[in-house]
Structure 1
Amino acid sequence: MRIVFVGAGTTAVATARQLISQGHSVIVIERDAARVQELSGELDCGLIHGDGTRPDILREADTSATDVLLCMADMDQENILTSLVGQVENIPHIITKVQDPQFEKVAIALGLENIVVPSRAMARHLVDLIESQDTLEASPVVKGDARVFSFIVTPAQAGPLSALKLPSAARAVCLYREGHMEFVDAEDKLREGDEVVVLTHEAGAAELHRRLSKAPEA
Protein backbone atom coordinates (compact mmCIF):
# COMPACT_ATOMS: atom_id res chain seq x y z
CA MET A 1 0.00 0.00 0.00
CA ARG A 2 0.96 3.63 -0.46
CA ILE A 3 0.64 5.44 2.87
CA VAL A 4 1.05 9.16 3.49
CA PHE A 5 1.74 10.69 6.90
CA VAL A 6 1.17 14.36 7.63
CA GLY A 7 3.18 15.16 10.74
CA ALA A 8 6.38 13.52 11.92
CA GLY A 9 6.03 13.16 15.67
CA THR A 10 7.28 10.19 17.65
CA THR A 11 4.21 8.00 17.08
CA ALA A 12 4.02 8.83 13.38
CA VAL A 13 7.69 8.02 12.81
CA ALA A 14 7.49 4.76 14.77
CA THR A 15 4.44 3.71 12.75
CA ALA A 16 6.07 4.74 9.48
CA ARG A 17 9.21 2.77 10.33
CA GLN A 18 7.19 -0.39 10.96
CA LEU A 19 5.18 0.02 7.76
CA ILE A 20 8.38 0.51 5.77
CA SER A 21 9.81 -2.69 7.27
CA GLN A 22 6.70 -4.52 6.07
CA GLY A 23 7.25 -3.38 2.51
CA HIS A 24 4.75 -0.54 2.24
CA SER A 25 5.47 2.63 0.29
CA VAL A 26 5.55 5.54 2.76
CA ILE A 27 5.60 9.31 2.29
CA VAL A 28 5.99 11.73 5.21
CA ILE A 29 4.95 15.39 4.94
CA GLU A 30 6.35 17.68 7.64
CA ARG A 31 6.32 21.49 7.92
CA ASP A 32 9.52 21.65 10.04
CA ALA A 33 12.51 21.71 7.67
CA ALA A 34 14.95 20.67 10.40
CA ARG A 35 12.80 17.64 11.21
CA VAL A 36 12.69 16.65 7.54
CA GLN A 37 16.48 16.86 7.37
CA GLU A 38 16.79 14.76 10.52
CA LEU A 39 14.47 12.06 9.18
CA SER A 40 16.29 11.88 5.85
CA GLY A 41 18.99 9.87 7.60
CA GLU A 42 16.55 7.70 9.58
CA LEU A 43 13.70 6.67 7.29
CA ASP A 44 13.89 4.96 3.91
CA CYS A 45 10.87 6.75 2.49
CA GLY A 46 9.75 9.83 0.63
CA LEU A 47 9.95 13.10 2.57
CA ILE A 48 8.16 16.32 1.66
CA HIS A 49 8.76 19.64 3.41
CA GLY A 50 5.52 21.60 3.52
CA ASP A 51 2.12 22.27 5.06
CA GLY A 52 0.00 19.14 4.66
CA THR A 53 -3.24 21.10 5.00
CA ARG A 54 -2.56 22.66 1.59
CA PRO A 55 -4.03 20.66 -1.31
CA ASP A 56 -1.04 21.42 -3.56
CA ILE A 57 1.40 20.06 -0.96
CA LEU A 58 -0.71 16.96 -0.35
CA ARG A 59 -0.86 16.33 -4.10
CA GLU A 60 2.94 16.22 -4.19
CA ALA A 61 2.56 12.86 -2.43
CA ASP A 62 0.40 11.68 -5.38
CA THR A 63 -3.02 11.52 -3.74
CA SER A 64 -4.47 9.64 -6.72
CA ALA A 65 -2.26 6.65 -5.85
CA THR A 66 -2.53 6.96 -2.05
CA ASP A 67 -4.33 4.20 -0.15
CA VAL A 68 -4.16 5.62 3.39
CA LEU A 69 -3.68 9.13 4.77
CA LEU A 70 -2.63 9.45 8.42
CA CYS A 71 -3.11 12.94 9.84
CA MET A 72 -0.69 12.94 12.77
CA ALA A 73 0.34 16.57 13.33
CA ASP A 74 0.51 18.10 16.81
CA MET A 75 -2.58 20.30 16.40
CA ASP A 76 -6.06 18.76 16.22
CA GLN A 77 -7.29 21.56 13.95
CA GLU A 78 -4.54 20.81 11.46
CA ASN A 79 -5.36 17.10 11.45
CA ILE A 80 -9.06 17.73 10.90
CA LEU A 81 -8.38 20.15 8.03
CA THR A 82 -5.89 17.76 6.43
CA SER A 83 -8.45 14.95 6.69
CA LEU A 84 -11.06 17.07 4.91
CA VAL A 85 -8.57 17.90 2.15
CA GLY A 86 -7.88 14.17 1.89
CA GLN A 87 -11.60 13.53 1.43
CA VAL A 88 -11.73 16.09 -1.39
CA GLU A 89 -8.77 14.29 -2.97
CA ASN A 90 -10.72 11.00 -2.73
CA ILE A 91 -8.15 9.16 -0.61
CA PRO A 92 -9.89 5.87 0.33
CA HIS A 93 -8.85 5.62 3.99
CA ILE A 94 -8.14 8.57 6.27
CA ILE A 95 -7.05 8.31 9.91
CA THR A 96 -7.33 11.42 12.07
CA LYS A 97 -5.46 11.90 15.35
CA VAL A 98 -7.12 14.18 17.90
CA GLN A 99 -6.28 14.89 21.53
CA ASP A 100 -9.07 17.21 22.69
CA PRO A 101 -12.57 15.69 23.13
CA GLN A 102 -14.07 18.92 21.79
CA PHE A 103 -12.31 18.39 18.49
CA GLU A 104 -13.26 14.71 18.47
CA LYS A 105 -16.90 15.83 18.41
CA VAL A 106 -16.12 18.27 15.61
CA ALA A 107 -14.38 15.54 13.61
CA ILE A 108 -17.37 13.22 14.01
CA ALA A 109 -19.79 15.99 13.00
CA LEU A 110 -17.72 16.59 9.86
CA GLY A 111 -18.04 12.95 8.87
CA LEU A 112 -14.52 11.78 9.73
CA GLU A 113 -14.80 8.11 10.65
CA ASN A 114 -11.36 6.80 11.66
CA ILE A 115 -10.51 8.93 14.67
CA VAL A 116 -7.67 8.02 17.03
CA VAL A 117 -7.35 9.53 20.52
CA PRO A 118 -3.87 8.42 21.71
CA SER A 119 -4.26 9.56 25.31
CA ARG A 120 -7.47 7.55 25.69
CA ALA A 121 -5.91 4.43 24.17
CA MET A 122 -2.89 4.72 26.45
CA ALA A 123 -5.06 5.33 29.52
CA ARG A 124 -7.13 2.24 28.78
CA HIS A 125 -4.03 0.10 28.41
CA LEU A 126 -2.44 1.40 31.62
CA VAL A 127 -5.64 0.73 33.57
CA ASP A 128 -5.73 -2.80 32.12
CA LEU A 129 -2.13 -3.40 33.19
CA ILE A 130 -2.82 -2.17 36.73
CA GLU A 131 -6.10 -4.00 37.26
CA SER A 132 -4.95 -7.30 35.76
CA GLN A 133 -1.55 -7.58 37.43
CA ASP A 134 -2.66 -10.21 39.96
CA THR A 135 -4.94 -12.27 37.72
CA LEU A 136 -4.70 -11.94 33.95
CA GLU A 137 -1.98 -10.92 31.54
CA ALA A 138 -3.00 -7.78 29.67
CA SER A 139 -1.30 -8.21 26.32
CA PRO A 140 0.10 -4.97 24.84
CA VAL A 141 -0.51 -6.32 21.35
CA VAL A 142 -3.03 -8.53 19.63
CA LYS A 143 -1.07 -11.64 18.78
CA GLY A 144 -0.95 -13.90 15.75
CA ASP A 145 -3.59 -13.35 13.08
CA ALA A 146 -5.99 -11.40 15.30
CA ARG A 147 -6.60 -7.70 14.68
CA VAL A 148 -8.64 -5.16 16.64
CA PHE A 149 -10.26 -2.14 15.02
CA SER A 150 -12.65 0.52 16.22
CA PHE A 151 -14.89 2.90 14.33
CA ILE A 152 -17.19 5.79 15.14
CA VAL A 153 -20.82 5.16 14.21
CA THR A 154 -22.05 7.53 11.52
CA PRO A 155 -25.71 8.57 11.09
CA ALA A 156 -26.02 6.03 8.26
CA GLN A 157 -24.72 3.22 10.51
CA ALA A 158 -26.98 3.99 13.47
CA GLY A 159 -29.45 1.19 14.17
CA PRO A 160 -29.22 -2.55 14.90
CA LEU A 161 -25.67 -3.88 14.96
CA SER A 162 -26.81 -6.76 12.75
CA ALA A 163 -27.57 -4.26 9.95
CA LEU A 164 -23.83 -3.65 9.52
CA LYS A 165 -23.47 -7.24 8.26
CA LEU A 166 -19.93 -7.70 9.54
CA PRO A 167 -17.81 -10.40 7.85
CA SER A 168 -18.13 -13.90 9.32
CA ALA A 169 -14.57 -13.64 10.68
CA ALA A 170 -15.34 -10.44 12.61
CA ARG A 171 -17.12 -9.84 15.92
CA ALA A 172 -18.18 -6.60 17.55
CA VAL A 173 -16.85 -6.96 21.09
CA CYS A 174 -18.02 -3.82 22.84
CA LEU A 175 -18.78 -0.15 22.36
CA TYR A 176 -17.95 3.06 24.16
CA ARG A 177 -20.89 5.40 24.68
CA GLU A 178 -20.53 8.68 26.56
CA GLY A 179 -17.29 7.44 28.09
CA HIS A 180 -18.66 4.09 29.29
CA MET A 181 -17.94 0.62 27.91
CA GLU A 182 -20.84 -1.70 27.08
CA PHE A 183 -20.77 -5.24 25.70
CA VAL A 184 -22.87 -5.71 22.57
CA ASP A 185 -24.76 -8.40 20.70
CA ALA A 186 -26.31 -8.49 17.24
CA GLU A 187 -29.62 -6.90 18.22
CA ASP A 188 -28.20 -3.98 20.18
CA LYS A 189 -28.87 -0.62 18.58
CA LEU A 190 -25.94 1.59 17.72
CA ARG A 191 -26.17 5.35 18.14
CA GLU A 192 -24.40 8.02 16.16
CA GLY A 193 -21.08 8.77 17.87
CA ASP A 194 -20.69 5.35 19.52
CA GLU A 195 -17.19 3.89 19.23
CA VAL A 196 -17.48 0.19 18.33
CA VAL A 197 -14.58 -2.21 18.91
CA VAL A 198 -14.32 -5.11 16.45
CA LEU A 199 -12.11 -8.21 16.67
CA THR A 200 -11.30 -9.86 13.34
CA HIS A 201 -8.93 -12.26 11.64
CA GLU A 202 -6.11 -10.61 9.69
CA ALA A 203 -7.43 -12.13 6.46
CA GLY A 204 -10.79 -10.42 6.97
CA ALA A 205 -9.46 -6.94 7.71
CA ALA A 206 -9.79 -5.65 4.15
CA GLU A 207 -13.36 -6.92 3.86
CA LEU A 208 -14.21 -5.34 7.21
CA HIS A 209 -12.94 -1.97 6.03
CA ARG A 210 -14.87 -2.32 2.77
CA ARG A 211 -18.15 -3.05 4.51
CA LEU A 212 -17.78 -0.31 7.10
CA SER A 213 -17.07 2.24 4.39
CA LYS A 214 -20.56 1.62 3.00
CA ALA A 215 -23.87 2.60 4.53
CA PRO A 216 -25.98 -0.33 5.79
CA GLU A 217 -28.44 -1.71 3.27
CA ALA A 218 -32.07 -0.81 3.82
Structure 2
Amino acid sequence: MRAVFIGASSLAVMTARFLLNRGHEVIIIERDKDCIEALSEELDCGFLHGDGSKPAILREAAPDETDMLFCLTANDQSNIIASLVGRSLGFGRVVTKIEDPEYEHICIELGLEDTIIPAGTIGRYLADMFDGRDLLELSSMIKGEARVFSFVARDKEAGPVHDLGLPKETGVVCFYRDGKFSLAGEDTVLEPGDEVLLITHSRNLPVLMQRLGQASEGWGTEATPADP
Protein backbone atom coordinates (compact mmCIF):
# COMPACT_ATOMS: atom_id res chain seq x y z
CA MET A 1 0.00 0.00 0.00
CA ARG A 2 1.03 3.61 -0.52
CA ALA A 3 0.86 6.54 1.92
CA VAL A 4 1.60 10.23 1.37
CA PHE A 5 2.46 12.53 4.28
CA ILE A 6 2.22 16.31 4.24
CA GLY A 7 4.70 17.72 6.73
CA ALA A 8 7.68 15.96 8.29
CA SER A 9 6.45 16.36 11.86
CA SER A 10 7.54 13.92 14.56
CA LEU A 11 4.16 12.19 14.26
CA ALA A 12 4.53 11.90 10.49
CA VAL A 13 8.07 10.55 10.70
CA MET A 14 7.17 8.01 13.38
CA THR A 15 4.13 6.80 11.43
CA ALA A 16 6.15 6.67 8.21
CA ARG A 17 8.82 4.60 9.90
CA PHE A 18 6.23 2.07 11.09
CA LEU A 19 4.74 1.82 7.60
CA LEU A 20 8.13 1.38 5.97
CA ASN A 21 9.00 -1.39 8.41
CA ARG A 22 5.78 -3.12 7.36
CA GLY A 23 6.73 -2.97 3.71
CA HIS A 24 4.54 -0.07 2.56
CA GLU A 25 5.52 2.70 0.17
CA VAL A 26 5.82 6.18 1.70
CA ILE A 27 6.10 9.67 0.20
CA ILE A 28 6.76 12.72 2.41
CA ILE A 29 6.00 16.26 1.21
CA GLU A 30 8.02 18.89 3.08
CA ARG A 31 8.81 22.58 2.56
CA ASP A 32 12.19 22.51 4.31
CA LYS A 33 14.97 21.20 2.05
CA ASP A 34 17.36 20.74 4.98
CA CYS A 35 14.76 18.60 6.73
CA ILE A 36 14.37 16.45 3.62
CA GLU A 37 18.13 15.97 3.34
CA ALA A 38 18.39 14.92 6.98
CA LEU A 39 15.46 12.50 6.79
CA SER A 40 16.69 10.96 3.55
CA GLU A 41 19.64 9.60 5.52
CA GLU A 42 17.39 7.57 7.81
CA LEU A 43 14.17 6.88 5.88
CA ASP A 44 14.08 4.80 2.71
CA CYS A 45 11.15 6.62 1.15
CA GLY A 46 10.30 9.21 -1.48
CA PHE A 47 10.31 12.96 -0.87
CA LEU A 48 8.69 15.93 -2.58
CA HIS A 49 9.85 19.46 -1.83
CA GLY A 50 7.08 22.04 -1.66
CA ASP A 51 3.84 23.18 -0.07
CA GLY A 52 1.60 20.16 0.42
CA SER A 53 -1.56 22.24 0.26
CA LYS A 54 -0.85 23.24 -3.36
CA PRO A 55 -2.68 21.22 -6.04
CA ALA A 56 0.39 21.03 -8.28
CA ILE A 57 2.48 19.39 -5.54
CA LEU A 58 -0.28 16.97 -4.57
CA ARG A 59 -0.75 15.93 -8.19
CA GLU A 60 2.93 14.96 -8.26
CA ALA A 61 2.19 12.59 -5.38
CA ALA A 62 -0.12 10.57 -7.68
CA PRO A 63 -3.50 10.62 -5.88
CA ASP A 64 -4.89 7.73 -7.94
CA GLU A 65 -2.03 5.49 -6.78
CA THR A 66 -2.24 6.46 -3.09
CA ASP A 67 -4.26 4.66 -0.43
CA MET A 68 -4.09 7.36 2.23
CA LEU A 69 -3.07 11.01 2.54
CA PHE A 70 -1.91 12.15 6.00
CA CYS A 71 -2.05 15.93 6.62
CA LEU A 72 0.13 16.23 9.72
CA THR A 73 1.76 19.67 9.68
CA ALA A 74 1.90 21.85 12.81
CA ASN A 75 -0.73 24.23 11.39
CA ASP A 76 -4.41 23.28 11.70
CA GLN A 77 -5.57 25.56 8.89
CA SER A 78 -2.92 24.20 6.52
CA ASN A 79 -3.97 20.65 7.32
CA ILE A 80 -7.63 21.40 6.69
CA ILE A 81 -6.91 23.13 3.37
CA ALA A 82 -4.54 20.35 2.27
CA SER A 83 -7.16 17.75 3.18
CA LEU A 84 -9.83 19.46 1.09
CA VAL A 85 -7.48 19.88 -1.86
CA GLY A 86 -6.32 16.29 -1.55
CA ARG A 87 -9.86 14.98 -1.45
CA SER A 88 -10.80 17.02 -4.53
CA LEU A 89 -7.82 15.55 -6.40
CA GLY A 90 -8.94 12.00 -5.71
CA PHE A 91 -6.96 10.73 -2.73
CA GLY A 92 -8.92 7.73 -1.51
CA ARG A 93 -8.77 8.53 2.19
CA VAL A 94 -7.56 11.66 3.96
CA VAL A 95 -6.46 11.99 7.60
CA THR A 96 -6.55 15.50 9.07
CA LYS A 97 -4.60 16.38 12.22
CA ILE A 98 -5.75 19.33 14.30
CA GLU A 99 -4.61 20.61 17.69
CA ASP A 100 -7.45 23.04 18.40
CA PRO A 101 -10.67 21.10 19.18
CA GLU A 102 -12.74 24.10 18.05
CA TYR A 103 -11.99 23.04 14.47
CA GLU A 104 -13.33 19.53 14.96
CA HIS A 105 -17.00 20.24 14.20
CA ILE A 106 -15.91 22.26 11.15
CA CYS A 107 -13.92 19.30 9.87
CA ILE A 108 -16.94 17.05 10.30
CA GLU A 109 -19.20 19.54 8.51
CA LEU A 110 -16.67 19.65 5.66
CA GLY A 111 -16.79 15.87 5.40
CA LEU A 112 -13.28 15.33 6.76
CA GLU A 113 -14.28 12.15 8.55
CA ASP A 114 -10.82 11.00 9.63
CA THR A 115 -9.95 13.94 11.86
CA ILE A 116 -7.58 13.32 14.76
CA ILE A 117 -6.63 15.39 17.81
CA PRO A 118 -3.50 13.67 19.18
CA ALA A 119 -3.40 15.62 22.45
CA GLY A 120 -7.01 14.71 23.22
CA THR A 121 -6.47 11.04 22.45
CA ILE A 122 -3.28 10.82 24.51
CA GLY A 123 -4.81 12.78 27.38
CA ARG A 124 -7.80 10.45 27.55
CA TYR A 125 -5.49 7.44 27.33
CA LEU A 126 -3.41 8.69 30.27
CA ALA A 127 -6.52 9.51 32.31
CA ASP A 128 -7.80 5.97 31.70
CA MET A 129 -4.42 4.60 32.71
CA PHE A 130 -4.60 6.59 35.95
CA ASP A 131 -8.10 5.23 36.65
CA GLY A 132 -6.96 1.67 35.96
CA ARG A 133 -9.25 1.21 32.96
CA ASP A 134 -8.67 -1.06 29.97
CA LEU A 135 -6.09 0.71 27.84
CA LEU A 136 -7.38 -0.74 24.56
CA GLU A 137 -8.60 2.22 22.51
CA LEU A 138 -12.10 1.65 21.15
CA SER A 139 -11.07 3.62 18.07
CA SER A 140 -8.61 0.88 17.11
CA MET A 141 -11.51 -1.59 16.86
CA ILE A 142 -13.74 0.57 14.67
CA LYS A 143 -13.00 0.01 10.98
CA GLY A 144 -14.20 1.15 7.59
CA GLU A 145 -17.12 3.58 7.62
CA ALA A 146 -18.21 2.74 11.18
CA ARG A 147 -17.96 5.53 13.74
CA VAL A 148 -18.62 5.92 17.47
CA PHE A 149 -20.74 8.85 18.66
CA SER A 150 -21.67 9.67 22.25
CA PHE A 151 -23.92 12.25 23.85
CA VAL A 152 -25.52 13.06 27.19
CA ALA A 153 -29.31 12.85 27.11
CA ARG A 154 -31.20 16.05 27.81
CA ASP A 155 -34.90 16.36 28.65
CA LYS A 156 -35.88 16.20 24.99
CA GLU A 157 -33.90 12.96 24.46
CA ALA A 158 -35.37 11.29 27.55
CA GLY A 159 -37.76 8.44 26.77
CA PRO A 160 -37.71 5.20 24.77
CA VAL A 161 -34.65 4.67 22.59
CA HIS A 162 -36.83 4.04 19.54
CA ASP A 163 -38.24 7.57 19.86
CA LEU A 164 -34.84 9.19 19.29
CA GLY A 165 -35.43 9.24 15.53
CA LEU A 166 -31.89 8.14 14.75
CA PRO A 167 -30.76 8.00 11.11
CA LYS A 168 -30.41 4.69 9.28
CA GLU A 169 -27.36 2.57 10.09
CA THR A 170 -27.29 3.96 13.63
CA GLY A 171 -27.89 2.06 16.85
CA VAL A 172 -27.63 2.64 20.59
CA VAL A 173 -25.05 0.26 22.04
CA CYS A 174 -25.01 1.12 25.73
CA PHE A 175 -25.46 3.91 28.24
CA TYR A 176 -24.13 5.02 31.61
CA ARG A 177 -26.50 6.12 34.37
CA ASP A 178 -24.94 7.49 37.54
CA GLY A 179 -21.67 5.98 36.36
CA LYS A 180 -23.14 2.48 35.98
CA PHE A 181 -22.82 0.69 32.63
CA SER A 182 -25.89 -0.86 30.98
CA LEU A 183 -26.43 -2.45 27.58
CA ALA A 184 -29.20 -0.85 25.56
CA GLY A 185 -32.15 -2.79 24.18
CA GLU A 186 -35.34 -2.05 22.27
CA ASP A 187 -37.18 -1.36 25.53
CA THR A 188 -34.51 0.91 27.01
CA VAL A 189 -35.86 4.20 28.35
CA LEU A 190 -33.32 7.01 28.62
CA GLU A 191 -33.30 9.53 31.44
CA PRO A 192 -31.82 13.04 31.48
CA GLY A 193 -28.11 12.82 32.25
CA ASP A 194 -27.60 9.36 30.74
CA GLU A 195 -24.37 9.06 28.76
CA VAL A 196 -25.32 7.28 25.54
CA LEU A 197 -23.00 5.49 23.10
CA LEU A 198 -23.99 5.01 19.45
CA ILE A 199 -22.48 3.14 16.51
CA THR A 200 -23.20 4.78 13.17
CA HIS A 201 -22.11 5.20 9.57
CA SER A 202 -19.67 8.08 9.06
CA ARG A 203 -22.10 9.86 6.74
CA ASN A 204 -24.50 10.33 9.68
CA LEU A 205 -22.09 12.34 11.85
CA PRO A 206 -23.21 15.81 10.69
CA VAL A 207 -26.86 14.95 11.37
CA LEU A 208 -26.06 13.54 14.81
CA MET A 209 -23.92 16.56 15.63
CA GLN A 210 -26.79 18.88 14.76
CA ARG A 211 -29.42 16.93 16.67
CA LEU A 212 -27.53 15.77 19.73
CA GLY A 213 -24.66 18.10 20.42
CA GLN A 214 -21.24 19.48 19.57
CA ALA A 215 -18.08 17.43 19.14
CA SER A 216 -15.78 17.17 22.12
CA GLU A 217 -12.04 16.62 22.22
CA GLY A 218 -11.16 13.24 20.82
CA TRP A 219 -10.62 11.45 17.57
CA GLY A 220 -13.48 12.90 15.59
CA THR A 221 -16.32 10.61 16.58
CA GLU A 222 -17.37 11.64 20.03
CA ALA A 223 -19.79 14.36 21.09
CA THR A 224 -20.92 16.13 24.22
CA PRO A 225 -24.27 17.83 24.61
CA ALA A 226 -25.00 21.37 23.62
CA ASP A 227 -26.44 23.68 26.23
CA PRO A 228 -30.18 23.11 26.66
With structure 1 as the length reference, what TM-score do the two structures score?
0.69
| Bigger Cα displacement from structure 2, 40-49 vs 98-107 | 98-107
1:183 to 197, 205, 217: 197
Structure 2 residue identity aligned to 1:147:
M
Q: Is contact 1:108-1:152 (8 Å) kept? A: no
Structure 1 residue identity aligned to 2:130:
I
Structure 2 residue identity aligned to 1:183:
L
Answer with 1 or 2: which has the greater Rg. 2
Indicate the residue corresponding to 1:86 in structure 2.
Answer: 86
Q: How do 1:43-82 residues align onto structure 2 when only pairs under 5 Å count?
A: 43-82=43-82
Partner of 2:52, secondary structure, is coil
Indicate the residue corresponding to 1:200 in structure 2.
Answer: none
Structure 2 residue identity aligned to 1:113:
E
Q: How far apart are residue 152 of structure 1 and its match?
A: 7.7
Structure 2 residue identity aligned to 1:182:
V
- Root mean square deviation, CA, Å: 3.2
Q: How far apart are residue 84 of structure 1 and its match?
A: 0.6
Unaligned runs of 5+ in 2: 150-164, 176-193, 223-228
Residues 86 and 172 from structure 1, CA distance in 2 versus in 1: closer, same or farther, beyond 3 angstroms?
A: farther
Q: Is contact 2:148-2:199 (8 Å) kept? A: no
Q: Name the CA distance, whole Å, in 2 between partners of 1:58 and 1:118.
A: 24
Q: Is contact 1:3-1:66 (8 Å) kept? A: yes
Q: Which runs of 4+ in 1 moved over 6 A?
A: 171-174
Indicate the residue corresponding to 1:160 in structure 2.
Answer: 166
Q: Is contact 1:113-1:151 (8 Å) kept? A: no
Q: How do 1:87-126 residues align onto structure 2 when only pairs under 5 Å count?
A: 87-126=87-126
Residues 106 and 19 from structure 1, CA distance in 2 versus in 1: closer, same or farther, beyond 3 angstroms?
A: same
2:35 maps to 1:35 = yes
Partner of 2:44, secondary structure, is coil
Q: Name the CA distance, whole Å, in 2 between partners of 1:30 and 1:67.
A: 19
2:161 maps to 1:147 = no
| Bigger Cα displacement from structure 2, 106-115 vs 32-41 | 106-115
Unaligned runs of 5+ in 1: 154-158, 175-179, 198-218
Indicate the residue corresponding to 2:180 in structure 1.
Answer: none
